[in-house]
């Protein structure tokens, strides 16, 4: 007698979902994400959590003025060491710079500049590069030749050298740096995206779309662009780190974000002389900020690369 098998009750239920969720969470790289989260939090809420302003010197108490200058009143006290060194106060935990401004507050506002400039610059570069790469790969023929030759020529110059050339005619300015980053970095995307599209173009879903008479524009934006997003995201996260370093370098050379804005690179440049007097903290703290940001972006990028490219998973 044939029995109708009773459908097995699903094993786990809620716990299975939980286990799966846990596996996803456990796989996420917690170190870079938490570092990025802290930096982003500091950047967004800088005006709220910063103990002092970014541009105005910290107002010293009469006792401090008395101790340093022998007067009851002084506008500011410069080069106060961090709180653990002798002469440091908890009022300014990381000390003050050459104009008596609070280093910690300026670092917090500096995170803002680094993040905004690097993210928007890389984003613009990504949009331009992805579109050109898709065009070159999909339309082929002359489009491909022209776009790829230009891309190759563009890739020849080291990015820092190219950025310096552009900044020499653009001058300092926050949005100038964004523009320069976009102009320098798009070629990295178009190169990689074109390769992807060349393979995608031969796939069945693109062929079928073509047979169905779907327009080229729709194919590009509906079928090709979503499929190259993995590559673009990996490149994006890896490029953000480079962009942060380029922004810091340009600011260091005096053609990036202009003073008195607290860009990390600029802060390091301004304290080059005090380095020799043994006031190491002024140059080291912004450097640590840059390293933290770039390190977490790079770690995230590496993780994404391995995650999205199964061939690399065991590498």
Partner 1 sequence: MRKYILLRAFYSLITLWLLVTIIFGMVRLTGDPIQMKGEVGADTVYLEELKKRWGLDRAFHQQYVGFIGNLLRGDFGHSFEKSLPVRDIYFERLPNSLKLGFAAFVISIVLGVPLGMLSAVKINSWWDNAGKMVALLGLSMPGFFVGMVLIIIFGVELRWLPVLGKGRSAFVGSDPSTWVAFWFRDWSHLVMPAFALGWYFSGAMLRITRSGMLDVLGSDYIKLVRLKGVPERMVVAKHALKNSMIPVLTFAGLNLLIMVNVAVVIEVIFNWPGVGQLLYDGLSNRDFPMVQGVVLMSGLMIVVLNFTIDVLYGYVDPRIRLSR
Q: Which residues pair with 102 in a beta bridge?
A: 96
What does the alpha-carbon distance between residue 55 and residue 105 come to, in Å, rounded to a whole number?
9
Instruction: Quote the CA–CA distance of 106 and 100 in Å, as a whole number.
Output: 11
Least distance (Å) between residue 277 CB and partner 1: 8
Check residue 290 for interaction with partner 1 (CB under 8 A): yes
- Which CB atom, from 174 or from 206, has the smaller least distance to partner 1? 174
Closer to partner 1 by Cβ: residue 68 or 170: 170
Residue 139 binds partner 1, judged by CB under 8 A = no
Judged by CB, which is closer to partner 1: 139, or 253?
253
DSSP E strands in 74-176: the ranges are: none
Of 50 and 292, the one with the shorter C-beta distance to partner 1 is 292
Q: Does residue 283 belong to the site contacting partner 1 (CB under 8 A)?
A: yes
Tokens representing 164 are 């310096």
Q: Output 189 or 223, the one with its CB closest to partner 1.
A: 189
Q: Is residue 164 a contact residue for partner 1 (CB under 8 A)?
A: yes
Q: How many CB atoms lie within 10 A of CB 234?
A: 21
With CB under 8 A as the contact rule, which of the stretches 44-52, 53-61, 221-229, 245-253 interacts with partner 1?
Answer: 245-253
Please report whether residue 154 would count as binding partner 1 according to CB under 8 A.
yes
β-sheet bridge partners, residue 96: 102
CA 193 remoteness from chain centre: 20
Tell me the site size for partner 1, rule CB under 8 A: 46
| Shortest Å, Cβ 32 to partner 1 | 10
> From the centroid of its chain, how far is CA 173?
18
Cβ of residue 278: shortest distance to partner 1, in angstroms? 6
Per CB under 8 A, does 249 bind partner 1?
yes
Binding mask 54-73 for partner 1 (x = CB under 8 A): --------------------
Give the Å distances, CA to CA, from 299 to 116, 145, 238, 292, 308: 19, 35, 9, 10, 14
What is the full DSSP assignment across 49-64?
H-SS-SSSPPPPPHHH
Where does residue 274 fall: left (phi above 0), alpha (psi -120 to 50 degrees), or beta otherwise? Answer: alpha
Say if CB 158 and CB 165 are below 8 A apart. no
Q: Which stretch binds partner 1 (CB under 8 A): 68-76, 105-113, 201-209, 267-275?
A: 267-275
Q: Indicate the residue among 218 and 291 with the shorter CB distance to partner 1.
A: 291
Find the angle CA(56)-CA(61)-CA(64) to the nearest 5 degrees.
Answer: 105
d(CA 294, CA 307): 20
Residue with Cβ nearer partner 1 (206 or 250): 250
Closest CA to 97 of 288, 262, 225, 256: 262
Judged by beta carbon, residue 224 or residue 248, the one nearer partner 1 is 248
Q: List residues binding partner 1 (CB under 8 A).
A: 149-150, 152-154, 156-158, 160-162, 164-171, 179, 183, 241, 245, 248-249, 252-255, 268, 272, 275-276, 278, 280, 283-284, 287, 290-291, 294-295, 298-299, 302, 315
């Amino acid at each position: 007698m044939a029995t109708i098998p009773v459908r097995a009750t699903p094993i786990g239920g809620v716990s299975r979902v939980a286990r799966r969720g846990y596996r996803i969470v456990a796989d996420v790289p917690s170190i870079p994400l938490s570092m990025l989260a802290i930096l982003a939090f500091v950047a967004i809420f800088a005006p709220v959590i910063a103990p002092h302003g970014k541009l105005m010197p910290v107002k010293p108490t009469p006792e401090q003025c008395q101790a340093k200058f022998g007067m009851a009143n002084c506008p500011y006290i410069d080069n106060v060491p961090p709180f653990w060194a002798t002469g440091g106060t908890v009022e300014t935990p990381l000390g003050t710079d050459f104009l008596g401004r609070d280093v910690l507050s300026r670092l917090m506002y500096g995170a803002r500049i680094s993040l905004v400039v690097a993210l928007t610059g890389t984003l613009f570069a990504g949009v331009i590069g992805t579109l050109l790469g898709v065009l070159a790969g999909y339309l082929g023929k002359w489009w491909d030749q022209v776009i790829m030759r230009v891309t190759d020529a563009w890739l020849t110059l080291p990015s820092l050298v190219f950025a310096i050339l552009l900044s020499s005619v653009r001058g300092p300015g926050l949005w100038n740096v964004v523009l320069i980053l976009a102009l320098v970095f798009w070629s990295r995307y178009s190169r990689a995206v074109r390769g992807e599209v060349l393979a995608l173009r031969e796939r069945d879903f693109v062929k079928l779309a073509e047979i169905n008479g779907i327009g080229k524009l729709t194919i590009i934006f509906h079928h090709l662009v979503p499929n190259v997003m993995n590559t673009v995201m990996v490149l994006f996260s890896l490029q953000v780190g480079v962009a942060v370093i380029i922004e810091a370098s340009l600011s260091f050379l005096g053609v990036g974000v202009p003073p008195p804005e607290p860009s990390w690179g600029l802060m390091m440049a301004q304290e080059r002389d005090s380095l020799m007097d043994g006031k190491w903290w002024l140059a080291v703290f912004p450097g640590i900020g840059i390293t933290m940001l770039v390190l977490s972006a790079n770690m995230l990028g590496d993780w994404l690369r391995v995650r999205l490219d199964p061939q690399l998973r065991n590498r």
